């Protein structure tokens, strides 16, 4: 990273403070060091050698990279660029380093899914949770009760009267833990007469690496995805996790030329697939819609989920009125567990008061973090991806 580009970007901040009311960590701690303006000042101090970098790490590590501050900034400061760039200067913690290495490779191995399913069986899970330390228990709280080992396959033949062809980005954690979401996306896309291509050589998007100070690895992973997707003849790359979608959409900022538009599955289905309410079965349930920061602040698709789910007859739909990040933020829920849980609490309070049947969210990390909070609060609320609801209602509508 060119130091001049960091300084130039940081110097665009006029210190007006308009971003402060948008910043979840500042609102929580009321500490200027935990605000976007304060963090930019710290970045400037590091770049001009006024403060040694390790002295700033406490506040910089507490940033969620939710980028809510960017939406309020009249100077258009690219805060996301700054925080990723300065983290490159920091030494990675052991947990972050291990998490980075693990997500890039383990989720793509079949053996990982099999071993995880063995772990998830009650006796072993209970024993290891009891024997394991705080970190094991934290990781365990984010896992579902079972994972699908279903193989995700592209159609070998195009559907009758194909409407078009899309590629599906599976993602590392989504492919491992929320495979049913990907299966639902394939089912709905095929129902809408799209041919779905799932390149086997695709890999992790690199977001976790880029946000935790490892841009070289993020770039390498990005390059791998260019090789997997660029040769395809598709109209869009579809993502089911907005954290991955946001990263893929911004590959260009990192010098990676992805040659197809990237769209969130809900937005694609709403805009292109033309699902009519007449093909969806009635669902008499209440649903709260959580909008992940990456969906709102980067992909700018915050209205897509409600627009799509409105097509299900009978659904009582409401937005989860959360002003801030839920605290998941990639590996943040592991590296900053105290703040992550404090930020989740308003969501749990709303859920406790409203008691919906289902909470939908479009990002895998948010689903894991919110689900863990819901389990901890003993609330009988299902957490799923919006496309899973669409797939279920298609099945009901089509059953004899
Ligand atoms: S990215 Fe989010 S947490 Fe970080 S400074 Fe901006 S608003 Fe605050
Ligand atoms: S709103 Fe923009 S210019 Fe103002 S303090 Fe925040 S980052 Fe700086």
DSSP states along 150-195: PPP---SSPPSS--EEEEEE--HHHHHH-HHHHHHHHHHHHHTTEE
Instruction: Give tens-digit pLDDT for 215-232.
Output: 889 999 999 999 999 999
End-to-end CA distance of the chain: 59
* Domain final residue pick, 245, 271, 297: 271
Both 280 and 267 in one domain: the answer is: no
Same domain, 242 and 293: no
Report the complex ipTM: 0.98
13 lines ligand 2 (CB under 6 A): yes
Q: Whose CA is nearest to atom 2 of ligand 2?
A: 73
Q: Among 247, 271, 295, which residue terminates a domain?
A: 271
| Nearest CA residue ID for atom 4, ligand 2 | 16
Pair 57, 123 in one domain: no
Give me the pLDDT at residue 138, please: 87
CA of 13 to the centre of ligand 2 (A): 5
Ligand 1 atom nearest 65 alpha carbon: 1
Residue-level pLDDT at 301: 93
CA distance 134 to 124: 17
Nearest residue to 298 (alpha-carbon basis) of 367, 245, 239, 219: 245
The upper half-sphere exposure of residue 304, i.e. CA atoms within 13 Å in the direction of its Cβ, equals 26
Question: Is 197 in a helix, a strand, or coil?
Answer: strand
Q: For residue 65, is it within any domain?
A: yes
CATH number of the structural domain spanning residue 226: 3.40.50.1860
Residue pLDDT, tens place only, 283-313: 999 999 999 999 999 999 999 999 999 999 9
pLDDT of residue 145: 83
How far is ligand 1, taken at its centre, from the CA of residue 269, in Å?
Answer: 31
CB 160 within 8 A of CB 116: no
In this structure, the answer to whether residues 300 and 360 fall within a common structural domain is yes
Are residue 34 and residue 52 in the same domain, yes or no?
yes
Which domain-ending residue is among 71, 87, 103? 87
Task: Establish if 156 belongs to a structural domain.
Answer: no
Ligand nearest to the CA of 69: 1
Does some domain include residue 365?
A: yes
Question: Would you say residue 151 lies in a domain?
Answer: no
Dist. CA 289–CA 309, nearest whole Å: 9
Q: Please list, in sequence order, all residues whose beta carbon lies within 8 angstroms of the beta carbon of residue 72, skipping any fewer than 6 positions away.
A: 18, 19, 21, 22
DSSP state of 261: -
The pLDDT value given to residue 297: 93
| Residues β-bridged to residue 384 | 360
38 close to ligand 2 (CB < 6 Angstrom) = no
Residues 281, 241 share a domain: no
| Ligand 1, CB cutoff 6 Å, lining residues | 22-25, 36, 39, 63-69, 79
Q: Sign (positive/negative) of CA torsion 194, 199, 200, 204?
A: negative
Gap from CA of 35 to ligand 2 centroid (Å): 10
pLDDT attached to residue 265? 98
- Is residue 169 in some structural domain? yes
CA-nearest residue for atom 8, ligand 1, is 23
Does residue 263 sit in the same domain as residue 298?
no
For residue 196, tell me if it sits in a domain.
yes
CATH number at residue 281: 3.40.50
Question: Does 157 reside within a domain?
Answer: no
Same domain membership, residue 217 and residue 131:
no
**Same domain? 309 vs 382:** yes
343 plus 298 within the same structural domain: yes
Angle between helix axes 36-47 and 3-10 (nearest 10 degrees) is: 140
Q: What is the CATH number of the domain that holds 9?
A: 1.10.1060.10
Run means of pLDDT, 10 residues per run, the chain, 400 residues: 87 98 97 97 94 88 95 96 87 67 77 86 81 83 83 65 91 91 94 92 93 89 97 97 97 95 97 82 96 95 95 96 93 92 97 98 97 96 97 80
Query: What totals of helices (H) and strands (E) does the chain contain, helices first?
Result: 22, 8
Residue nearest to atom 8 of ligand 2 (CA): 13
Q: How far apart are CA 296 and CA 168, in angstroms?
A: 21
> How many structural domains compose the chain?
4
Q: What does the block give as tokens for 137?
A: 């228990």
Residue 152 domain flag: no
User: Containing domain of residue 256, as a range?
Assistant: 164-271
Ligand 2: which of 11, 35, 40 to mutate, most ligand atoms within 8 Å of CB? 40
Atom of ligand 2 nearest to the CA of 37: 5
- List the residue whose alpha carbon is closest to atom 6 of ligand 2: 19
Give bridge partners of residue 367 from the DSSP assignment: none
Question: Measured from the CA of 62, which atom of ligand 1 is nearest?
Answer: 3
Q: Are residues 101 and 49 in the same domain?
A: no
CA–centroid distance, residue 86 to ligand 2 (Å): 17
* CB of 17 sitting under 6 A from ligand 2: yes
CA distance 140 to 129: 7
- Angle ∠(71,239,395) on CA atoms, nearest 5: 125
Same domain for 285 and 250? Answer: no
Are 233 and 197 spatial neighbours (Cβ–Cβ below 8 Å)? no
Nearest CA to ligand 2 atom 1: 73
């Amino acid at each position: 990273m060119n130091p001049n580009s960091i300084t130039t970007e940081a110097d665009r901040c006029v210190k007006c403070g308009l971003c402060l009311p948008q910043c979840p960590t500042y609102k929580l701690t009321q500490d200027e060091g935990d605000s976007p303006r304060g963090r930019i000042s710290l970045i400037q101090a590091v770049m001009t050698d006024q403060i040694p970098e390790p002295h700033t790490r406490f506040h910089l590590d507490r940033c969620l990279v939710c980028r809510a501050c960017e939406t309020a900034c009249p100077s258009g400061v690219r805060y996301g660029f700054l925080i990723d760039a300065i983290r490159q200067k920091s030494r990675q913690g052991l947990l972050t380093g291990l998490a980075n290495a693990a997500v890039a490779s383990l989720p793509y191995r079949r053996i990982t899914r099999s071993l995880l399913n063995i772990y998830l069986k009650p006796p072993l899970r209970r024993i290891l949770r009891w024997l394991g330390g705080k970190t094991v228990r934290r990781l365990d709280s984010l896992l579902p009760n079972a994972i699908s080992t279903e193989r995700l396959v592209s159609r070998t033949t195009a559907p009758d009267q194909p409407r078009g062809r899309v590629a599906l980005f599976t993602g590392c954690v989504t492919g491992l833990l929320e495979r049913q979401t990907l299966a639902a996306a394939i089912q709905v896309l095929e129902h809408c007469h799209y041919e779905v291509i799932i390149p086997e050589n695709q890999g992790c998007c690199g977001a976790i690496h880029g946000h935790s100070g490892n841009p070289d690895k993020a770039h390498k992973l990005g390059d791998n995805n260019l090789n997997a997707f660029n040769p395809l003849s598709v109209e869009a790359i579809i993502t089911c996790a907005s954290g991955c979608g946001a990263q893929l959409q911004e590959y260009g900022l990192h010098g990676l030329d992805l040659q197809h538009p990237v769209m969130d599955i809900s937005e694609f289905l709403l805009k292109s697939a033309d699902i009519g309410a007449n093909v969806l079965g009635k669902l008499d349930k209440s649903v709260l819609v959580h909008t992940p920061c990456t969906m709102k602040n980067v992909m700018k698709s915050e209205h897509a989920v409600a627009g799509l789910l409105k097509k299900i007859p009978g659904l009582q739909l409401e937005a989860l009125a959360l002003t801030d990040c839920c605290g998941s933020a990639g590996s943040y829920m592991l590296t900053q567990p105290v703040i992550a849980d404090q930020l989740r609490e308003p969501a749990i309070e709303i859920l406790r008061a409203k008691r919906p049947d289902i909470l939908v969210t479009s990002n895998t990390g948010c689903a894991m973090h919110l689900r863990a909070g819901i389990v901890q609060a003993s609330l009988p609320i299902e957490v799923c991806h919006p496309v899973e609801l669409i797939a279920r209602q298609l099945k009901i509508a089509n059953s004899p």
